[in-house]
Amino acid sequence: MGRSPCCDGEAGVKKGPWTPEEDKLLVDYISEKGHGSWRRLPKLAGLNRCGKSCRLRWTNYLRPDIKRGRFDDDEEKLIIHLHSILGNKWSSIATKLPGRTDNEIKNYWNTHLRKKLLGMGIDPVTHRPRTDLSLLAGLPALLAAAGSFSSGSGAGASWVENMNALRLQADAAKFQLLQGLVRALTTNTSAAAAPMAGNGGGSGVQDHLMALLGGGEETTPASSPMFFDGLESLNLDDHLNTDGGWKDLLEQMSWLNSTEL
DNA sequence: AACCATTGCAACCGCGCTGGG
DNA sequence: GCCCAGCGCGGTTGCAATGGT
């Protein structure tokens, strides 16, 4: 299917940012005659651009029905919801958001929403709570920093505040991790529909984890020194069909138990 | 005030799909 | 069925604007 890129061979064709004059030529031409063949449009409109560049400029910027400005909360929620269903199908997502272009949505996702979800402990690809080791990656640094503060070397006027801030961050990371475990267990067990020991609908493991979380209250800080007590003994592999990743995870978690905050 | 780092977005690139000859 | 032109899509890059030191 060899097809040379549309702009190859068009020597001297302009690239880069569009000038107001070029915009006007393009808008005037399309308003009067429609875009027709994008390939022929530049010549007909008197533009020294390739057709592809014209199409992009029109669809992403000059089209009269484009809605510019910040995305509101409803649009944000809709994008996240649609992304969880459609993945990176930006053009499909864009059809559900009138006035927004696929490029705009893609940019907004990459610069805002992805980070927002990561900050909430949600994997932006799977839209599920992150249970991967990368969540733990930042903890050693946090804990080390907290340790150096508590050792009192060169403590400044606000070292207590810094210490508390670090503790809160570490707690939050721990809490997110455990929430992820609970959710993963919940979805895994319900999907497998495997009856497990315990009361009613929940498993003993889930109950244990929920108890560690403080009854499942999302706002409960996981600051107890016993936070991870007994996690290793839960033997999650009995309940999860995994490739061993959970064992690695628990090994990584073991040092948390031994680290005094 | 000057420099550097980060962020946000417009534009480009390359690949795959589709339809006509 | 094959070839190719044209288009659309998703990923990536470049750069101006902004913030921090």
Q: What is the mean pLDDT of each run of 10 residues along chain A (261 residues)?
A: 44 81 88 85 88 87 83 86 86 86 87 82 79 52 46 39 46 53 47 35 46 39 37 40 40 38 35
pLDDT at residue A181, rounded to an integer: 53
Please report where in the chains the tokens 């649009």 appear, as a residue: A75
Query: Which positions of strand C lie within 7 Å of protein CB atoms?
Result: 4-12, 15
Percentage helix, strand, coil, to 5, in chain A? 55, 0, 45
pLDDT at residue A33, rounded to an integer: 85
CB of A55 under 7 A from strand B?
no
Give the distance, in angstroms, between residue A5 CA and nucleotide B14 C1'. 8
| Whole-angstrom distance, CA of residue A91 vs CA of residue A24 | 26
Distance of CA A166 to the CA centre of its chain: 23
Alpha carbon separation from A184 to A175, A190, A241, A261 (Å, rounded): 14, 10, 11, 27
Q: What is the pTM of this model?
A: 0.58
CB of A112 under 7 A from strand B?
yes
Q: Tell me, what amino acid is at A228?
A: F
Q: How many CB atoms lie within 10 A of CB A173?
A: 20
Give the distance, in angstroms, between residue A91 CA and nucleotide B3 C1'. 41
pLDDT at residue A151, rounded to an integer: 42
pLDDT at residue A70, rounded to an integer: 81
Query: Reduced to 3 states, what is the DSSP secondary structure of residue A112?
Result: helix
Q: For residue range A125-165, list pLDDT tens digits in order.
A: 888 776 654 455 555 544 554 444 444 433 333 444 444 44
pLDDT at residue A176, rounded to an integer: 55
Please report where in the chains the tokens 């272009």 appear, as a residue: A101
